[in-house]
Every structure is written in C-alpha cells, then in structure tokens.
C-alpha cells in the first residue's frame, strides 16, 4: 500500500498536467471554470471581471512591466517600491537622492513627475483567433506563416490605435498560437510619484533578502495617474486632472489570517510551464549559467567604476538592481532544478508520453516525431552559440553603443523594401523608439559605458575562429584606442542630437565620423543574420510546441491555463507557511518586531531611527494585527505568480485589498517551469504595514484618508 501511494505521488509530481488546485495564472475569460466558491471566494466571477459593468478588473493597472491598482476615486495608485524605482532614479541627482531618501508630496501640486512611466487600464478583451488564423490561410512554412500573422497583428492594432497616443492595442497569442486575444488599453501618460518610502524601508534587506522568506520589506510606493480635462491620457501638464477610475479597491476591514482565501489580479510576464526536456536542458546547462556568469562580471565592473561617485551610483542603480535580481533568480533555478532532479523527471515524463503516443497509430503518426524534432532544433543552436551570446549581450555594451546600434538598425530596416522589412520595425514603432530614446540617458554614466564597451569588444576578440566577427577585426586589434576615440569625440551623449539621427540614411550615419556608428555598421550584417536565425528558430519551435501541447491534450485532456505573456491573469490560493527543509517550518507572517531584530544599522538592514521610535512607543495606530499582537509586515500565500506580477493587488475572499505581491521564495525558484504546491509561495507586503508607514512614519495620514474615508 505504501508503495502504491509513493508511486501515485511520484506520478503526480511527474505530471505537470494534473493541475493542482491553486495552480495557474488564468485568463479572465476562464474564471467560470475554476469553481472558486468551493475554495472560499465570496464573490461571483462576474464581480471580478465583467465586460458590461464596472468590476474589480477595472481597478487593475499595468505599468508596462509591473502591476498596480487604483485605490481611490482620484487616481491614486499603489504598486511596489521596486516598480517605481526607475522613476525615482530618473528624478534623482546628487542633491535629491529619492532612491535613498524616498519622496513625499505634501500637496497634490508637489507630486513628482514619474518620468517614463505610463499607467495602462484594460478597456476591452476579445478572442480574435479566427481572424488571425484566417489571414495565415493554409500556409505551411512556419517562418512565412509567422510573418503573415505578425503583419495581420500589426495592421489590426494600428487600425485600432488610429492616431491616438492614449490607446494601446496588443494581440497576444496563447498556447503557442492556438488562441489569439486582443487587449485594448487606455494609456495614461501623466503619472506622478505621491509617496515612496526611503530605501531602508522600501527595499529593506535588498539583495540579501531578495527572493527569500522570512522577509521584512515595505516594498510599496503610491503614484497618481492624471488625464487631460477632456479625459484623454495626455502627457504631463500642470493642467491635467486626476484620473477617475471606473473602479478602485477598498482596504480590507479584517486582518489577514492563516488559511484565508486570497487572489491576485496582475500581469505575469513569462513562464515556461509546457516545455520539453530539450528546452530545459538548454537553459539549465547553457543559458542560465552563462547569464549568471555574465551578469556577475558586469556587476563587478559597475561597482568598480562607481565606487567613488555618488552620481555614478545613482545612474547605474536601476541597471544593477535588474541584473542582481535576475542573477539571483537564475542561480536559484539552477540549484533547485539540480536538487530536485528536474531534468531527469522531465525525461521520464516524456518517455511516458511517448509510450502513450506509440500505442495509438494515429497519434504516433501525428506526434511521434515532435520531441525529436524539438531536440533537433536545439541542436542547431549549438553551432553559433558563442557568437549568438556576444550579439545577445550587446544590450549590456553601454548606453551609447546600444543607442548607435539600435538607431542604425532601425534606419537600415526602413531602407528595405516592404516585402523584406520586419513588421516589428513599422514606422509607428520606430517613432515610439525615438520618443523613448531620451529615457536611456538617465542610466548613462560615461566611465561605466567605456568599461562595458571594452568588455564587449574583448569578448568579440575571444570568439572561436569559426564564429569570428571578422568585420570587427581591426577594431578589436586595438580595443583601448577605439574606445577612447569613440568616447572622446562622440556627440551621441546629447539625446537631441541622437534623436535627429533616426531621420538620416544609413550612409549618412556612416559618414558622421562617429566610431560608434562605424561599430554599428560593421556589426550590422552579423546582427541581422542573428535576428533571422532567431526568428526562424522561434517560428519553428512555436509550431512544434503547439503540437506538443496537442499531444499532451490527447493524453490528459485537461483544461489548461496559457503560459504567462504579460496579459492580465487571475491566480488564487490560501495564506500558508511552508516547510523549507527537514525540521524547519516557516510561519506565513512576519512582524515589525522582526524588522527591528534584523536591524544592524548597516545597509541594507539600516532601519530608519523613526521606525524604532514608533516601535518603542508602540505607536501603531489602528494597524495592529490582533492575532499577531504586532503589525504584520509580510505574508506568504499560495498564489501562482511570476515576474511582472510585482505590485499586484492581493485581495481577500470579498475582493478587498489586503496587500501587494512583491516576490517569490528561493525554495521555489524553478516555479516558472513547474508549479509546486508544497514549496511555492507568493510573498506580499501587508496593506496595514503600507498604511502604518504612510500614516505614522511619513505623516501622510491624508493618503490613508483618501483611501479609506474616515476609517
């Protein structure tokens, strides 16, 4: 009997297709199939999402990468501190270091322009699979098919957007192209920072605690979205007025308890839950270790060149935070996949699938070759791997080289006849890139740029003979001289100068006498070939992955959620602790007492003295959690999230706001590949800690009042 149970458990853990309760990042159109009442939801699915009436989803905001929500009738938005980090960085200087000190607007007039930030609110969602697939007709060749589909998508979205810059249309494909859904958003371009706590609260514990539990981080920031008086999502202007959202979230009346039902609405970025062992092997053996190694090198370099410069530290802060975050995540993936024999388990799972397929001649005919065809595609990647790595890492070769390469690339694309032009380089997209160009300069610090370009060229020089970028031979023969001449003479450090270059021809760019454009021109054909290789790989692999999913359906026939792709998703799960190791049991709550315990006075555990004073005086206002007899700081629950969900509203069974999701736990770092009921947790900041800090620490009770009325 025991053996039977063990075998059953093994089967379940091998089988990503028996979807667990509480697993999944579901589309809004799938809510009805989830039986949520049974798990404790006190609302109807139509209270959450209703295309005909205001519902909770109308309060959910996408920040272009992160998630957020409206929490007042006057456009107040709450998200994570790390989501507003870029805006704080762009507004910071040596005199005003908002990253370290935080920012509080005492009046509306003092709110700080969140440069580069947009708030998107979903207006419409529609399945348009038939239209899209019809356009591809009976075309068999995956690359050609992909191209036609991209063109249809481009034409459809451009027609919807028209000449409005406050409308954003996106057609996202689900299940590797089995379904296409149109999402239309209203885009508010005037977003302002209202309150960001100091880094010693908003990012307490920084990289030491990142991806970890127990956690004690006040990872939140308040923003406000503004619109023109006529309701359009205009750019920043003092005449703009706060957005009046169709719906906004109300703060929960009750404190969070162990076992409570919770749900999250947000925008998870990307998962790979339905991949094969070929893909896993590639990532585990090549891609992740390579990225960890590269990022570590870049981080060391950034630390070295900014050690004595506060300005330098501010300029590279955002790049650094991103690299550190991904590096630790990928390290964790490697560890957890290795420890749990993930690859071996995948292979075993596939052999069971193969047995099933082989038993049925019809299925064998259809799907018998899919796994080996996928592997064969991965094998082709090996041939150009070293060169591909260098070309891919170009985005970390310094701000100015990146700018030169992308302007030159756009200009060359524009010079191609329509039939050969990549639909992603439409005039509209080039225009958008041009508009955003100035944002790159907030991260520009010349010494870091020089060092990154030098590093990249050294990598070019070290390429194996059969993958050499020969057009760069004479540049890499004297790297230091080239870098010095490039930066000593460049005019590209002026963003207006750079912007105007989008309207030049490639010949004019080459004739500028800018070494960085010489570099861009010399790299062009290799980059172009690389992108074509990538496009071909993507089209072919997507086609095969779609068939792999069909085979899995034939085997298990289970209703699935699509992999995350930056579209709005729903996930639910109970508040729960977990057992990270033998004899160790984690509770689901941390408290202010824990913040104090971690305090060393040294960054990143340098709690502000005022917080200590509030703690000593037990000046907690109405924010104490009676069961903990303390303020709840962070909690863990079983929602299924990934990067992009950061800042998402966490709600209770009644749809009231209880917190903000901001992280996942280290023990479940392979969660993008497979859900783990026992180990995977979402880490959220309790809304009561957010409000305590806002009212008692920052003295901004007026924001609490704006959210809650008179409590």
User: Judged by CB under 6 A, which of 294, 563, 640, 663 binds ligand ARG?
Assistant: 663
Considering the complex, what minimum distance in angstroms separates the CB of residue 25 from ligand ARG? 15
Considering the complex, what minimum distance in angstroms separates the CB of residue 83 from ligand ARG? 9
Distance from C-alpha of 557 to C-alpha of 360, rounded to nearest angstrom: 16
Distance from C-alpha of 115 to C-alpha of 442, rounded to nearest angstrom: 10
Number of residues counted as binding ligand ARG (CB under 6 A): 12
CB atoms closer than 10 angstroms to residue 617: 9
Catalytic residue among 55, 279, 426, 646: 646
| Cβ(83)–Cβ(203) below 8 Å | no
CA atoms within 13 A on the CB side of 100: 12
**DSSP state string for 280-296:** HHHIIIIIHHHHHHHHH
Catalytic annotation on 82? yes
Residue 210 binds ligand ARG (CB under 6 A):
yes
What is the distance in angstroms between the CA of the first residue and the CA of the last residue of the chain?
Answer: 57
User: Judged by CB under 6 A, which of 151, 165, 207, 290 binds ligand ARG?
Assistant: 207
The nearer residue to ligand ARG, 357 or 649, going by C-beta atoms, is 649
The nearer residue to ligand ARG, 630 or 667, going by C-beta atoms, is 667
The nearer residue to ligand ARG, 331 or 459, going by C-beta atoms, is 331
Catalytic residue among 81, 82, 216, 637: 82
Distance from C-alpha of 584 to C-alpha of 589, rounded to nearest angstrom: 15
CA angle 235, 119, 22 (to 5 degrees): 175
Considering the complex, what minimum distance in angstroms separates the CB of residue 487 from ligand ARG? 30
Can you read off the two tokens belonging to residue 232?
């359009």
Site for ligand ARG in 69-88 (CB under 6 A): 82
Considering the complex, what minimum distance in angstroms separates the CB of residue 23 from ligand ARG? 19
User: Judged by CB under 6 A, which of 79, 203, 459, 490 binds ligand ARG?
Assistant: 203
**Nearest in space to 220 (alpha carbons), one of 247, 198, 252, 237:** 198
Considering the complex, what minimum distance in angstroms separates the CB of residue 112 from ligand ARG? 21
Considering the complex, what minimum distance in angstroms separates the CB of residue 82 from ligand ARG? 4
Q: Which long-range contacts (CB under 8 A, 24 or more apart) does 28-33 make?
A: 28/57, 28/125, 28/568, 28/569, 28/570, 29/125, 29/127, 30/559, 30/561, 30/570, 31/570, 33/559
> Is the backbone of residue 709 left (phi > 0), alpha (psi -120 to 50) or beta?
left
User: Judged by CB under 6 A, which of 543, 565, 646, 682 binds ligand ARG?
Assistant: 646
Residue 643 binds ligand ARG (CB under 6 A):
yes
Can you read off the two tokens belonging to residue 124?
């419409």
Site for ligand ARG in 315-374 (CB under 6 A): 321, 324-325
Q: How far is CA 587 from CA 123, 217, 578, in A?
A: 39, 16, 7
User: Judged by CB under 6 A, which of 62, 180, 211, 396 binds ligand ARG?
Assistant: 211
**DSSP state string for 386-398:** HHHHHHHGGGGS-
Considering the complex, what minimum distance in angstroms separates the CB of residue 211 from ligand ARG? 5
Please identify, among the stretches 30-38, 206-214, 306-314, 451-459, the one whose residues bind ligand ARG according to the rule CB under 6 A. Answer: 206-214
Contact map string, positions 403 to 442, toward ligand ARG, x by CB under 6 A: ----------------------------------------
Residue 516 binds ligand ARG (CB under 6 A):
no
Please identify, among the stretches 37-45, 202-210, 232-240, 258-266, the one whose residues bind ligand ARG according to the rule CB under 6 A. Answer: 202-210
Residue 571 binds ligand ARG (CB under 6 A):
no
Residue 57's H or E segment, with its range, is none
**DSSP state string for 472-508:** GHHHHTTHHHHHHHHHHH--TTSHHHHHHGGGS-HHH
Catalytic residue among 58, 219, 255, 449: 219
Active site residues: 82, 219, 646
Residues forming contacts to ligand ARG in the complex (CB under 6 A) are 82, 203, 206-207, 210-211, 321, 324-325, 643, 646, 663
């Amino acid at each position: 009997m025991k053996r039977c149970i063990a075998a059953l458990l093994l089967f379940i853990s091998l089988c990503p297709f028996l979807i667990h309760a509480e697993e999944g990042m579901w589309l809004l159109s799938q809510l009805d199939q989830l039986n949520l009442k049974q798990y404790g939801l006190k609302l109807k699915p139509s209270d959450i999402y209703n295309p005909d009436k205001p519902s909770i989803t109308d309060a959910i905001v996408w920040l272009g990468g992160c998630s957020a929500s409206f929490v007042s009738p006057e456009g107040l938005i709450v998200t994570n501190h790390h989501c507003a980090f870029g805006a704080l960085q762009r507004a910071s200087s040596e005199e005003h270091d908002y990253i370290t000190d935080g920012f509080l607007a005492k009046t509306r007039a003092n709110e700080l322009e969140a440069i580069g930030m947009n708030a998107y609110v979903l207006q419409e969602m529609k399945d348009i699979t038939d239209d899209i697939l019809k356009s591809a007709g009976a075309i068999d060749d995956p690359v050609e098919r992909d191209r036609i589909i991209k063109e249809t998508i481009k034409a459809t979205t451009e027609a919807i957007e028209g000449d409005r810059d406050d409308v954003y249309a996106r057609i996202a494909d689900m299940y590797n192209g089995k379904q296409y859904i149109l999402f239309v958003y209203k885009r508010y371009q005037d977003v302002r920072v209202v309150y960001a706590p100091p880094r010693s609260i908003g990012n307490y514990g920084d990289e030491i605690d990142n991806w970890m539990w127990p956690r004690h981080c006040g990872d939140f920031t308040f923003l406000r979205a503004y619109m023109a008086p006529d309701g359009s999502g205009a750019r920043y202007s003092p005449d703009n007025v706060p957005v009046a959202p169709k719906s906004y979230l109300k703060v929960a009346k009750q404190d969070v308890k162990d076992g409570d039902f919770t749900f999250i609405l947000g925008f998870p970025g990307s998962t790979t839950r339905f991949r094969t062992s070929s893909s896993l092997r590639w990532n585990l053996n090549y891609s992740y270790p390579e990225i960890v190694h590269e990022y570590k090198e870049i981080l060391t370099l950034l630390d070295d060149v900014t050690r004595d410069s506060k300005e330098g530290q501010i300029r590279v802060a955002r790049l650094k935070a991103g690299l550190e975050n991904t590096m630790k995540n990928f390290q964790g993936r490697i560890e957890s996949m290795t420890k749990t024999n993930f690859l071996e388990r995948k292979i075993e799972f596939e052999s069971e699938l193969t047995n099933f397929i082989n038993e049925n001649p019809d299925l064998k005919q259809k799907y018998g070759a899919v796994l080996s065809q996928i592997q064969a595609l991965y094998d082709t990647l090996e041939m150009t791997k070293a060169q591909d790595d260098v070309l891919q890492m170009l985005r970390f070769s310094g701000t100015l080289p990146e700018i030169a390469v992308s302007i030159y690339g756009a200009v060359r694309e524009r010079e191609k006849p329509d039939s050969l032009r990549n639909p992603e380089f439409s005039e509209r997209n080039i225009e958008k890139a041009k508009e955003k160009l100035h944002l790159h300069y907030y991260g520009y610090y010349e010494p870091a740029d020089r060092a990154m370009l030098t590093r990249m060229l050294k990598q070019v020089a070290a390429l194996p003979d059969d993958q050499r970028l020969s057009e760069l031979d004479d540049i890499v023969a004297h790297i230091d001289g080239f870098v010095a001449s490039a930066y000593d003479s460049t005019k590209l450090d002026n963003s207006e100068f750079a912007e105007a270059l989008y309207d030049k021809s490639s010949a004019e760019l080459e004739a500028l006498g800018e070494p960085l454009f010489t570099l861009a021109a010399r790299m062009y054909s290799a980059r172009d070939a690389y992108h074509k290789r990538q496009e071909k790989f993507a089209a072919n692999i997507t086609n095969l992955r779609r068939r792999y999913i069909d085979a899995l359906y034939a085997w298990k026939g289970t209703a699935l959620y699509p992999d995350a792709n930056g579209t709005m998703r729903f996930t639910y799960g109970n508040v729960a602790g977990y057992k990270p190791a033998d004899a160790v049991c984690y509770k689901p709550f941390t408290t202010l007492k824990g913040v104090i315990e971690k305090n060393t006075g040294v960054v990143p555990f340098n709690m502000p003295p005022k917080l200590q004073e509030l703690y000593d005086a037990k000046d907690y206002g109405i924010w104490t959690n009676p069961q903990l007899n303390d303020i709840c700081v962070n909690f863990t629950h079983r929602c299924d999230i990934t990067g992009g969900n950061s800042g998402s509203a966490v709600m209770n069974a009644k749809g009231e706001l209880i917190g903000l999701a901001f992280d996942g736990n280290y023990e479940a770092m392979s969660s993008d590949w497979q859900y783990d009921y026992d180990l995977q947790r979402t880490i959220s900041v309790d809304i009561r800690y957010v409000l305590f800090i806002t009212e008692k620490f920052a003295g901004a009770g007026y924001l609490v009042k704006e959210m809650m009325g008179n409590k």
